[in-house]
Amino acid sequence: MHKKLKKPPFLIPDWKVSELVGAAVTTRENGFSMNEFANFNLATHAGVDLCVLEKNRIEIKSWFDSGLQWQWLNQVHGNNAVRVSEASKSIIADAAVTDQRGLVCCVLTADCLPVFFAAKDGSEVGLAHAGWRGLSAGILEATLLKFNAARENIQVWIGPGIGQCHFEVGSDVRDSFLQGQSINQIEKLDSSFQRIANAPQKFLCNLRSLAAHTLNRLGVTEVSGGDFCTYCDEDRFYSYRRDSQCGRMLSMIYKKNL
């Protein structure tokens, strides 16, 4: 018989959202994975013990309505967003949007930002996997295009990701955001890159700021979250930049079966 863990292995996003919306982010605490993947890895591509992975997935599902359907993605750091009406096998995409009750949109991360979307009336929800590549390629723009709700009626919460304090990048990353932009946009985007002293081609990159700037430019003004650094908080979060070999946290959002 499956033994439940002592406490729910997830965080609840701190945002004012419709009661129709359910959302959570797992931590690495309390699970069954071992070694560098300890303890609550939920990704099939991280680690080799699929039996342990299945125990972890059964565990997280046990904390929610048994009638939920779970839509997993095969994430490729791209800009493909999909609108789903029923759960299917894993889809090659980096974002999912739905208006169906009980259909869970899932994203796996370990430094990239999980970006939660919800229409203010709870009619639609979505979730995007947004690292620097996805942000630069337009994953947030693609996600919003899958919504029927007007931009001013969409709110966003940004989940745990690597903080600017530890995300060192080269000039190629900075250039990918600045190229082709107007002078006004360049000034705003460039503020997300802090030059590193004595290293002119190195910057500390603020993913949260880049995401918020993009969302604001697109007409989404209610943006919160982004307060957790996966690199800094080793006890609670996996970090690919910190550990290289590590598990993945699950971010999930769905419309409740009320």
pLDDT in tens, 195-229: 999 898 999 999 999 999 999 999 999 999 999 99
**Token duo for residue 78:** 């791209």
16 is a domain residue = yes
For 86-145, the pLDDT digits (tens) are 999 999 999 999 999 999 999 999 999 999 999 999 999 999 999 999 999 999 999 999
Residue 1 or 193, more confident: 193
Domain that holds residue 96: 10-162+219-255
The CATH number for 70's domain is: 3.60.140.10
> What does the mean pLDDT of the chain come to?
94
250 is a domain residue = yes
Is residue 62 predicted with pLDDT exceeding 70? yes
Q: Which residues contact 60 (CB under 8 A, 6 or more apart)?
A: 9, 10, 26, 40, 42, 250
Is residue 2 predicted with pLDDT exceeding 60? no
- Predicted confidence at residue 6, as pLDDT, reads 61
Q: How many domains does the chain divide into?
A: 1
- Predicted confidence at residue 162, as pLDDT, reads 98
| Residue in this structure with the two tokens 């980096």, named with its chain if needed | 94
Contact 97, 137 (CB under 8 A): no
CA distances to 45, 90, 131, 227, 238 from 232, in Å: 24, 31, 17, 11, 10
- Predicted confidence at residue 22, as pLDDT, reads 98
Classified as helix, coil or strand, 45 is coil
207 is a domain residue = no
- Predicted confidence at residue 48, as pLDDT, reads 66
CA 184 to chain centre: 28
- Supply the Cα-derived Rg of the chain in whole angstroms: 18
61 is a domain residue = yes
Q: Which residues contact 166 (CB under 8 A, 6 or more apart)?
A: 204, 229, 231, 232, 241, 242
